[in-house]
Each structure stands twice: as structure tokens, then as C-alpha cells.
Structure 1
Amino acid sequence: MEQDASEPDPSRQRNGFVGTLYGEFTDTLDDSLRFSVSLTESALTIRRISSSPGRTKVVFDLTDCVGCRAHRGPDGADVGAYFTAYFYPFKRRWMAAGVARQRVEQGFRVALAREPLAHLQEAERWARAIREASGMQAPRRDGVTYMEVRRPCRVMILVNPHSGRGQALQLFTGHVQGMLTEATVPYTLVTTEHQNHARELVRKADLSQWDALVIMSGDGLLFEVINGLMEREDWQDAIQTPLGILPGGSGNALAASVHHYSQSPPAWNEELLLSCGFMLCKGLVGSLDLVSIHLASRQRLFSFLSLAWGFVADVDIESEKYRHVGAIRFLMGTLVRLASLRVYQGKLAYLPVEEPPRPPKGSVKTSQPPSTPQHPSLCSSLPCQLIPDPSPNQNSPHNRITTNCNHNTVTNSSNNPVTATKRPETQGGGKSMTLVDSLLPGLDQPVPESWTVVKEEDFVLVLAVYQSHLAEDLWTVPGAMADDGLIHLFYVTAGISRPALLRLFLAMEKGAHLACGCPYLVHEKVKALRLEPISPQGVITVDGEMVEYGPVQAQIHPGLARLICG
């Protein structure tokens, strides 16, 4: 279904555009305007043909192109044919600072011969060449290996019509639907009808019909989809289905993070939606870390964004009443909660990440080509175990799964060897396996000596986050990546004043909170953590969704899922 984008595609070498095309065409509306058009593997260059000395030249970068189509004119008497390319380059915002992606449609009329069929064939030749050349020129980050959704891909788009201000469907039809048509991406739109509808749907769906699952909502719907995929018997294959995000909620943390990872200028609202839609049309796929979370009731959840207790969790849940105002609901909730700031008693422990030693000054770092594992859902994970399923109960909260995978040695995102221990047990022709979080002891057991136990027991908030953004306007971890294999643990201890806490959150809008020098704020990079609330009442959230209150622990699994990004 996908291929390593760092390797040449033989089919493109055989059938794709190679070299340079050149032609002369007229304007779609005015035959007196003539243009010379040249296409290379990286750009479409247009020059106006004129008797005047100066020539107007426009160059379109093919990394900004989502598609091109050939078509006949609207008038049946028109013997010409047309081809139209669709670009989304960065342009300066109208009456605002900065730049953002904006749609540009560029079309030409072909009338090189008298036979109408020849005109259409020439238009189709150009449209095909532009599509193939733009497909080879997708935005990529240096040093990152991507997979690529095959084209044409088949996409299931799940929309929550009640997310955010209840405008997700209107946003889709107004901004995304046309882009998918321009990029010739076939899709099926599914509107969710109730809580956990998406979870139930993907748990039972025939995923072989789909090349990607895309969520048009806030972060809560993606939480449902990921946990539905991980509850399947074929979870190892299911979780490799590329996941896309289109911001339609009030938080949109993952959408803001994906946009940030693409190294694009900051964007919000419709501009953020346009950026995520553009990346969906381009179809590049990277790795996505997931975090396995154990609750006191022995339920296990999989999280892609955050685990929160205290102030952040309170604001998230209590601001639901302001959902109709959109993203500003979090500011309103913050001000309300600041007015009656709470302190929570609890115990916190974590397994810190061992920072690699810095090379001696003047040494040369040797880079090795990244490996492309056959099963990224296993091969990118930190130490974990796959053990036989002791029970056939597939509704168990421990996600017992059947698989026929037979590889043993894998590699994590740092190219360090990791062993996935398996003890297969034949049951009905398959091997029943359970993914075990080997870094986590039982919640009733003490943490290992290698863990750090926080001495303070009075907290204003505890926040574990694994993406760069906690909301569209909260840049929580400036250096984070979707697949860095880290849990970024923040906690604020009691004693901080209300103005100081407000300053922290205002600074977080620009990612400057860690530079504030606040003595009550602590940031640690960890692989696992445990939180044990002592206060009898409180709120714990996972990816913004309220979960059971009580002891909770978590472990990171790098690269367990796949994410459409750029």
C-alpha cells in the first residue's frame, strides 16, 4: 500500500514524467493572451508571449501542487481542450502579518491542431505529467524518512458534526472537499452519531478497503479511532493504517502540531484547516508515538496527545459549557479556574530518559541510513513484550490480540536494537499475543529503583504531553516531534501565585514558558510515569477526555502508529 519515499519508485521511473516539457497555449478566457509553458521535475514556469520587450514570468513550485485535470470547454462548439493545475503556495496574508497557504488555479487552452481529439490528448498529456512530477515533489523534512499513501488513495473521513462550534461539516464542504476533488482523492464521508461511534466502527471495519482514516473533528474523535484500532484482533496491521487529522474542534492540538512539524509558518482557524488538507492531498506518512495508559480498574487506553491532572484537566472539562464559542473556551475556563485556584495532593514518579553523551568537540558524527521495518507498529517501540493471551475474551480491557507475526529483533527510532519477546500459543490456527508494557510494574507494586520519585506532594497541575501543541494557541513543547519517543512531563508545585500561573500560560502561546524561570515549573523528559492522587476528588483526562479518577501510569511506544504529515 505504501513505499519508502526515500527509495526511487520503479513505476514512476518507467511511466512518470522525466525531463522537460514545453508548449505554447492561450488563456482559458482570452485567446489573444498567449503563454509559453515549461515543466521540469520541480517547477511549472509560465511566460507571457508579447511583442513588448519585457516578459511576465511566473514560477510555480510543484511541492505546492495538489493536482491537475484535463477537460473540454463548457461550450460544445469549442474545439479546444483545457488543463488546469491547482496550487496552494504560501502567500502574504491579506491585511495581516505573515504568510499562509492560499489556493491558486492556473489553466490553459490547448488549440495546436484542428482535430479536437488531438487537443484533448495533448491536454491530458500535460495534466498527467504535472500530476506525476508534483507527486515526486512533496514537502519533506531533512533527515526524516516518510512513507507515501498510494495514489489514487481511498480515504474514510469521519466527521463529528457537533465538535467545536458545530461547524465541522460546513468547514469540510467549504474548504476541504474541493481540495480532495482537485487532488483526485476518492473518499467516503461518515458522520458520527454518538459517543464511541467511531471507535465501534473502526473496530469492526474491513480496513483493506481504505488507504487512510481521516478525522475531521477535535482530538476526541481521533482518541476513539486509535483505541478502536488497538482493540481489534489484527491490531498490528490495523494500527499501521495512516491516520489524518483535519481541525474541526475547539482544541485541535494534533492538527496544530502536525502543521508545526511541517515547518510551516503559524496558522489558526481556516488557515490551519487548509494546511492540514494540503498535507492530506500530498499523502506523506510519518510515524506517530502512542502512550499506553493503565487505570486503577485495570483498563488500558492508548493516547496520542496528553495525560493531565489538576489545573489543565479542570479547565479542559469545566470549559465544555463554553464549547459554542470555539477555542476561546479554554481562555474563559482558565480565568474561571484561576479565580479559585486549587491545590492537589498526590505522588508522582517517572523513569527519566537517559540523555546520550555529547560527542567530543571537533568529532565527526557518522550518520547511517534509516531502516524501514516491515512492521512499524512493533519495530519502532521501546522495550515491550508480546506474550500469549491467557484468555479468549477479546472484550478484555487488556487488548489481547491474535497475530501471525514471526519476526523477533526490531529497531527503535534511535536505531538501537530492541527485542520483542514472544511466547506464541496456537489457538484456532493463529498465535494469541498480548502487548505488555515492560517498563511498568503493577499499580499495586512499588516503582523500580531506576525511577525518580518527586518529593513534593502538593501540585497545581501535572501534565504529560507528547506533541508540540496542547491546543491551537498553546505551544507546549517547542522541540517535540510526533515520533521522538518522549513523554514531556510538566508539573507545577503549590505556592505559585495566580499572576505567575497566568503568565506561564500566556508565555506558552509563543512557546516561551520554559524561559520564564518559574521556580514552581518542572519539565522532565521521561519514558514512563506513575501518578497517584491522594486528594479524594479531582479530574484526570487522557487526550482531553475524562477518565476514571485514581492511580494511573503510562509508557511510551515510539512509532506505534502512522500519521499523515509533511
Structure 2
Amino acid sequence: MDTLHPENDRLPSPPLISDRVLINGVITPLTLTADGELQWTESGLRKSTTEKEILSFAVEGNKVKLKTLVERRGSICCGGSGGDYARKDFVFEPLYDESRKLWCDKLRQRLDSLVGRPKRLLVFVNPFGGKKTARKIFLEEVKPLFDDAHVQLDVQETKYQLHAKEMVRSIDLSKYDGIVCVSGDGVLVEVVNGLLERADWRTALKLPIGMVPAGSGNGMIKSLLDPVGLSCSAASATVSIIRGHRRSLDVATISQGTTKFFSVLMLAWGLVADIDIESEKFRWMGSARFDVYGLQRIICLRQYNGRILFVPAPGFESNGKPASYNVDKESSVSDKTVLGYQGPDTNLEDLEWREMKGPFVSVWLHNVPWGAENTLAAPNAKFSDGFLDLIVMKDCPKLALLSLMTKLSDGTHVQSPYVSYLKVKAFVLEPGSRIDEEDKEGIIDSDGEVLARGRRSYKCDEKALMSYGKLQITVDQGLATLFSPE
């Protein structure tokens, strides 16, 4: 609720309804304007509840109860309680039955006119992510807000890895206004991959996906909430979904032969991938696991042989050296008999390729700014600009690297002379072995999951989607849809 000052008043909006009602036992003029503001006088102040703050209303006897949100600036802890909003009820009593009926009709018309507000959602709750608090977060912080907004929920707890992907690939989505992931970034990735494997993927991708932070990383929802000054909390994320604003999201296609994986967050090889995947042994620590294991990996620093090729975005053509690239024909030819999305239709051989050769400490490719709630990996990344942000680190002294790690929280690491930071519209990774132990290779990580494991790498006996070899990455601009705070 806002206190409005006369000097800041805009031209008044015409009233939808205006009448005298009882508020706290006092007869008070109350007006609902055409632009959704509820105005009255109390204690000498004119107050207003905008359409952003009204969740729903209910009639209780002679009274009308508005379920509203009051803005507050609070917790900055991802997935924690508090956040930017508090629930508060505003109750008024019309003086006669006809007035109460008219108020209810006008309020219902106004709320129904808000474009994009979801009425029914499919919700995935991942009870295994992060500190395993997703179920508690959903029941205590998420569901009550959806209930207050009269949003129907079909809730599905994920029982195993790829469960969400299997479900969205086959279920009838026409009855839903969106999909919500109460998890870290992993379930979001599964949902996007499942939607892209559907025969009706073009229609399915228009269904917005919402994120509620309940995992270790929470990079996507942090990237959505942080630019508008909202804390990375379950309440702020849920309110953003209820309001129904949407934005498009680039999707990267990672190809190796005919095998494809669709990425929405990042790809990493070298230091970042090793920290992300090998720190799983400390998953009980939540997001602190990355800092603890990161220190270990810097002390015992690895470097990897290899080569990267990329097509720079305009303005970044000076990075790397000119190179030619022979496209993997097996990757580039779409199988028309296969259902689902096959990747962007781009003629890669006609592009101006550049290359960098190893050894590398880290190669990191990012689609959105935040890789985790405390890691501003790519400060200039945009959700739907058609480019990926590439962060490359080659030789770097350990002390300088330690300093760089402390700067990840505000994105200033990209200003280091040891870091190359650029935007690319196509990318090829040719990973190699460690320079000190040539019989050992690395891990390729995409969106927090292992894409490929090299020889004698962490859990190298476990099966991965791709082999530890050349990968080709292309971007399709604005392919997916997200619920967004603005």
C-alpha cells in the first residue's frame, strides 16, 4: 500500500465505482479507478492499492476482504523466508446489499482483466535439491500465496532425475497457464528439454516457466529478480509468477553428432566445471559448497590442453585469431522424421570464426548474468539477445585467481587482465587433457549437470550424455518463455 502525496499525483483515472463504506468502523469514501487503484482516506492520508498488490477478494458476511501484498525490503537469502512482500488484508463494509454486489462485480472484472495472470499451474517440487527444503518452502511460502490469488495448482514432486522432463514431454499442457519449478536450476533445464522434444514444441514453448528458488544454484531466478531490486526469495519469485509478466529466453543447442542437449544457463569446462561437479560431495552445505571446494581447486590448480572456436558478436572481432571451421555435417543435418526441435537453422560455414588455443584454466559460456545466487558470472548477459557470453581464463597466478574468485559476487572478475570476456553467436569446444597429467581429462558441465566425463575424471565410470570430445553450440534467440517480475 502506498501513501500518495498530492504533489506526485497524476491526472486522476475515472472511477469504476465510488461509494461510502465502513473502514475500521468509520464511514469513508472508497473509489476503485479504471487503472486499478483503490483509494480512500484514513488518518488524513490518501492511500492506494494498485493492481500489483491485490491478489483476490472474498465476501465474509456484509464485509469484503481484499487479500493484498504490502511491499517491504527484507531478506536477501535465496529461498529463505521474508522477501519483499508481506500479506495484509484490507477489509471494508458496503452500507447496503446492492453496493456490496456492485463492488464485487467491479473488483472481479478488474482482476479478470489483468492480462497474463495464471489461473492454473503445473508445479514441480524437487525434494532432493540443495538443502532438501523445497517441500517446506512450497508448503509454507509458495502455496499460501497461490491460494490467496486463487491460482489452481497441480503439484508433482520429482522422484528421480529427468522425471520432470518425462512428464512435460508427454502430458496435455493445454489446461495450464504455466509451469513452475520449486527447485534449483536443474528442473528448469529438464522442463525446457522436455518441451523441445514435443511434436508441438513451437506451441509448448509459449507456455511460461516460473522459478522458485529451492536449490543450490538458483542462477536463473536470481538473474530475473536482481535487476529489478527484488531479493532472491520464494515469496518474491511467487509474486512475480502471480502477476503474470513474461519474457523470452535464448536457448543454446549443444550438439555432438546426432546427440543434442538444450541449455538455458551455462556450459563450463576446466576450473568452474570441476568446482560445480566435484563439489557435489559437499551438497549438504548448500551454496557454500562452491566456495569451500573452489579454494581446494585453486590451491591444486589444473590446466587443460584444448582449443575453442567462436563467432564473435559485433564489437568483439578482435578476440582470438582467424580460423576456419568445417561443420560437423552429422550435427547440422536435421532428421525430418524426428519429432521435436532440432536446433537453429544456421549456416555455420559462412560465419567468421576465431580461435583460442590452450592451455586453459577455465572456459565458461553463459546465457544469463547469474550462475548462482552469489555468482555474477556474466554481468553483461541478456536473456534474449541471441548471444552467449564467453568468459575465458588461461594462465593465471594462484593469488590473482583467489582474488578473482572473491570478485565473482559482483561481476568485476571480468575486468581482470587474466580474463577474456566477449559475446559469441556460435561456439565450438575441443577439450583436451590436463597439461601435467596427460592421462587425465576433465569434465564438461552444462546447467549444473555432467554433459561429458573424460578419462580418469571425477566419477568417470558413470555414463554421460556425450563423449569427452568436440562439441558444437548454437543459439536460438528468444525461443523459450519465462515468468518475469516485469
User: Normalising by the residue count of structure 1, what TM-score does the alignment of the two structures yield?
Assistant: 0.71
Question: In structure 1, what is the Cα distance between the partners aligned to 2:37 and 2:60?
Answer: 25
Change over 3 Å in CA distance of 1:118–1:244 after alignment to 2: same
How many correspondences in the alignment?
A: 434
Q: Helix, strand or coil for the counterpart of 1:209?
A: coil
Partner residue of 1:25? 21
Partner residue of 2:326? none
Partner residue of 1:138? none
1:124 aligns to 2:123 (yes or no): no
Change over 3 Å in CA distance of 1:278–1:266 after alignment to 2: closer
Question: In structure 2, what is the Cα distance between the partners aligned to 1:529 and 1:94?
Answer: 38
Q: What residue identity is the alignment partner of 2:475?
A: I
1:256 aligns to 2:233 (yes or no): no
Give the CA deviation at 1:350: 0.3
Q: Helix, strand or coil for the counterpart of 1:346?
A: strand
Counting only pairs closer than 5 Å after superposition, residues 81-100 of structure 1 correspond to structure 2 as 81-89=63-71, 91-93=72-74
Q: Helix, strand or coil for the counterpart of 2:314?
A: coil
Partner residue of 1:401? 339
Change over 3 Å in CA distance of 1:353–1:152 after alignment to 2: closer
Give the CA deviation at 1:437: 4.5
Q: What residue identity is the alignment partner of 1:401?
A: L
Identify the match of residue 294 of structure 1 among 252, 255, 259.
255
Q: What residue identity is the alignment partner of 2:346?
A: S
Give the CA deviation at 1:56: 3.4
Q: What residue identity is the alignment partner of 1:71?
A: V
Cα pair 1:440 1:554 within 8 Å, conserved: no
Change over 3 Å in CA distance of 1:439–1:554 after alignment to 2: farther
Give the CA deviation at 1:104: 3.8
Identify the match of residue 107 of structure 1 among 90, 95, 98.
90
Partner residue of 1:520? 418
Cα pair 1:439 1:555 within 8 Å, conserved: no
Counting only pairs closer than 5 Å after superposition, residues 406-485 of structure 1 correspond to structure 2 as 434-435=342-343, 437-440=345-348, 450-454=352-356, 456-485=357-386
Question: In structure 2, what is the Cα distance between the partners aligned to 1:468 and 1:43?
Answer: 35
Question: In structure 1, what is the Cα distance between the partners aligned to 2:101 and 2:181?
Answer: 38
Change over 3 Å in CA distance of 1:339–1:355 after alignment to 2: closer
> Where does structure 1 differ by over 6 angstroms across 4 or more consecutive aligned residues?
385-388
Give the CA deviation at 1:506: 1.7
Q: Helix, strand or coil for the counterpart of 2:360?
A: strand
Q: Helix, strand or coil for the counterpart of 2:174?
A: helix
Give the CA deviation at 1:461: 0.3
1:506 aligns to 2:414 (yes or no): no
1:211 aligns to 2:177 (yes or no): yes
Q: What residue identity is the alignment partner of 1:507?
A: K
Partner residue of 1:405? none
Q: Helix, strand or coil for the counterpart of 1:24?
A: strand
Identify the match of residue 69 of structure 1 among 57, 61, 66.
57
Question: In structure 2, what is the Cα distance between the partners aligned to 1:164 and 1:120?
Answer: 48
Give the CA deviation at 1:552: 1.3
Question: In structure 2, what is the Cα distance between the partners aligned to 1:245 and 1:169?
Answer: 14
Q: State the identity %.
A: 30
Question: In structure 2, what is the Cα distance between the partners aligned to 1:209 and 1:129?
Answer: 22
Partner residue of 1:541? 445
Give the CA deviation at 1:547: 0.9
1:243 aligns to 2:206 (yes or no): no
Change over 3 Å in CA distance of 1:520–1:18 after alignment to 2: same
1:181 aligns to 2:141 (yes or no): no
Q: Helix, strand or coil for the counterpart of 2:31?
A: strand
Identify the match of residue 243 of structure 2 among 282, 302, 305.
282
Change over 3 Å in CA distance of 1:489–1:118 after alignment to 2: same
Q: What residue identity is the alignment partner of 2:411?
A: G
1:354 aligns to 2:297 (yes or no): no
Structure 1, unmatched stretches of 5+, are: 1-16, 49-53, 74-79, 136-147, 358-384, 393-399, 403-432, 442-447
Q: What residue identity is the alignment partner of 1:82?
A: V
Deviations 1:194-222 (A, max 9, x none): 11111111111112122211111111111
Give the CA deviation at 1:120: 4.5
Give the CA deviation at 1:478: 2.4
Q: What residue identity is the alignment partner of 2:478?
A: G
Structure 2, unmatched stretches of 5+, are: 1-12, 318-330, 434-439, 453-467
Q: What residue identity is the alignment partner of 1:493?
A: K
Q: What residue identity is the alignment partner of 2:412?
A: A
1:563 aligns to 2:464 (yes or no): no
Question: In structure 2, what is the Cα distance between the partners aligned to 1:562 and 1:468?
Answer: 17
Q: Helix, strand or coil for the counterpart of 1:258?
A: helix
Give the CA deviation at 1:229: 1.3
Q: Helix, strand or coil for the counterpart of 2:161?
A: coil
Question: In structure 2, what is the Cα distance between the partners aligned to 1:66 and 1:289?
Answer: 32
